[in-house]
Amino acid sequence: MLAASKKSTEALLVLPSAVFNQYRKQIVDLALNNRWPGMYPRAEYVEEGGLMTYGSSTTDLFRRAAIFVDKILKGAKPGDIPVEQPIKFDLVLNLKTAKQIGLTIPPNVLARADRVIR
């Protein structure tokens, strides 16, 4: 990541990774210090000061997982339960970070956000 800060990097995209998640504070700080707009895989990054995340709702995924567990405990065979794709996605924006890096979020994007950190 230090190599990225020495080049002409203009933004940061963090992909889902247990390793990245472990260092999310350092990753967010690197983006903030370099005034990079960052897109992150989970809301926790945005709560740490990252700019935004858009992805499947982990709350909804956990809720759906509980339904699968319930079916299995009631005797359903796991192989007979159909695979599902996420249907709920969350957009979380951090306006404090946007201001700090000099970025204006358009009103129509703000209106679509599921959560805005002010």
Task: Give the residue-averaged pLDDT of 11-31.
Answer: 95
Mean of pLDDT over the chain: 93
DSSP labels, 35-98: T--EEESSHHHHHTT-SEEEEE-HHHHHHHHHHHHHHHHTT--GGGSPP-----EEEEEEHHHH
8 part of a folded domain: no
| 46 in any annotated domain | yes
Domain at 17, CATH number: 3.40.50.2300
Number of separate domains in the chain: 1
Q: Quick one: what percent of the chain has pLDDT higher than 70?
A: 94
What pLDDT does residue 38 have? Answer: 97
Q: Is the pLDDT of residue 2 over 60?
A: no
Average pLDDT over residues 19-26: 95
What pLDDT shows up at residue 5? Answer: 56
- Domain assignment of residue 42, yes or no: yes
Is 80 a residue whose pLDDT tops 80? Answer: yes
Task: Tell me, yes or no, whether 69 lies in a domain.
Answer: no
* Confidence bin at 1 (pLDDT 50/70/90): low
pLDDT of residue 23: 96
**Domain limits for position 30:** 13-56+87-117
Query: Which residues, in sequence order, are CB contacts of 33 under 8 Å at separation 6+?
Result: 5
